[in-house]
Structure 1
Amino acid sequence: MAGTGTQRKSDTRQRIQDIALDLFVEQGYEKTSLREIAERLEVTKAALYYHFKTKESILVSLFADRVEPLDELIAWAREQPRTLEVKQEFLRRYTEQLKASSRLFRFMQENQAELRDLRVGETFKSRVDDTMELLLAPDPSLADRVRCTAALISLHAGMFALKDVEGDPEEKYDALLEVSFELLAAAHEGRGPAA
């Protein structure tokens, strides 16, 4: 019986996160209230408050649940040699994480100003910094730093930029990954793009 109660609490928590994320994406973080989340859930604000005291606590839980696999990926990459193949595998797996949490990353893209002032913004910036460290070669040139940054940004911003372009989402991710690989290869070898 205890497991059933725990499962229900977990299901409720997940449902709250999903509804809140839907509202955050639809109307923005600042414009979404706990009351609106409760109304969409068809529960009282007090019932919502039992699980989450603030909007930020919902957002923190979303990041904790959905960014944890990214932490595991970063830990994996730190244990690997810094070869181009490992960096490419890292970006391939990173892209899978982006796909799995596409709504969260879309929200982040559209609410950058608000996130900058929240704890989760700092947390995510730290993950991006860790990721950049893994992609860079030792003592990279400024141009190679730009290439690695562009490789990562193309994955993050690319799906948003391509959302209105006709095509299969998987083909879009493949195209973004191809461009990221090209930039990463040029940075890894310490040279500009091939002529």
Structure 2
Amino acid sequence: MGKAGDPVAGRRTDTRERIRAVAMELFSEQGYDNTSLREIAERLGITKAALYYHFKTKEDIVADLSDEVRAGVGEILGWAAAQPPGKETGHEILARYGAVMHDVGLDIVRFMAENRPAFRKLEIGTALRYQFVEVAAAMTGPDADPLAVFHARQALLAISWSVTMTNDLELTDQQRRDAALAIARDIFDRV
């Protein structure tokens, strides 16, 4: 990789972002299984060799998207490990989870919603599900009542789905974030 300030390194990052964005468009339009790397390259106006430089497979593109989410959730879990379980910690986890999902989680959640069979086949789905369970456990503690864990998971789902299932509503990103967090806290607080 190039050094900071290196214009070539910046172009590589821009190209990766463009590839990811176009791949997500195509996966959304025609499905993951019906999209080829050739089609992604053609839509971008680049050669397959240029695409291969960044991503060897479609799975690599999806994995790259999930890596950002997993890293963000990993940071939440690291922070939570040093906190006592309880309502205050749960609220902070929800806020941090909301930030991750609204900042970098949109594409992977959209992919999961629109390409369920492919998501189930890909290894990344297992890793994301495992982290999701771990976040809920961090909110409730190791010996929590199953109903409390259920509420924690439902609160996390309220945030996760808000990034993709409400795009047809005339809401700003901030309104969507604030409403999702308020609903998630309400769900979590019911136990």
Shorter-chain TM band: 0.7 to 0.9
Q: Percent identity?
A: 35
CA RMSD of aligned residues (A): 2.2
Q: Separation in 2 of the partners of 1:82 and 1:137?
A: 5
Amino acid at match of 1:35: R
Partner of 1:176: 180
Shift in alpha-carbon separation, 1:139–1:65, aligned structure 2, 3 A:
closer
Counterpart contact for 2:37–2:57, Cα < 8 Å: yes
Partner of 1:26: 29
Instruction: Trace 1:47-86 onto structure 2 (pairs within 5 A).
Output: 47-86=50-89
Taking structure 2 as the reference length, what is the TM-score of the superposition?
0.85
Q: Separation in 2 of the partners of 1:99 and 1:33?
A: 28
Name which one, 1 or 2, has greater alpha-carbon Rg. Answer: 1
Which consecutive unaligned segments of at least 5 residues does structure 1 have? Answer: 188-195
Q: Separation in 2 of the partners of 1:50 and 1:165?
A: 38
Shift in alpha-carbon separation, 1:165–1:19, aligned structure 2, 3 A:
closer
Number of corresponding residues: 187
**Aligned-pair distance for 1:70?**
2.1
Structure 1, 43-52 or 61-70: larger mean CA deviation: 61-70
Q: Separation in 2 of the partners of 1:149 and 1:9?
A: 37
Taking structure 1 as the reference length, what is the TM-score of the superposition?
0.83
Instruction: Trace 1:109-124 onto structure 2 (pairs within 5 A).
Output: 109-124=113-128
Which consecutive unaligned segments of at least 5 residues does structure 2 have? Answer: none
4+ runs deviating over 6 angstroms? none
Structure 1, 99-108 or 154-163: larger mean CA deviation: 154-163
Instruction: Trace 1:63-142 onto structure 2 (pairs within 5 A).
Output: 63-101=66-104, 102-142=106-146
Counterpart contact for 2:86–2:139, Cα < 8 Å: no
**Aligned-pair distance for 1:75?**
1.1
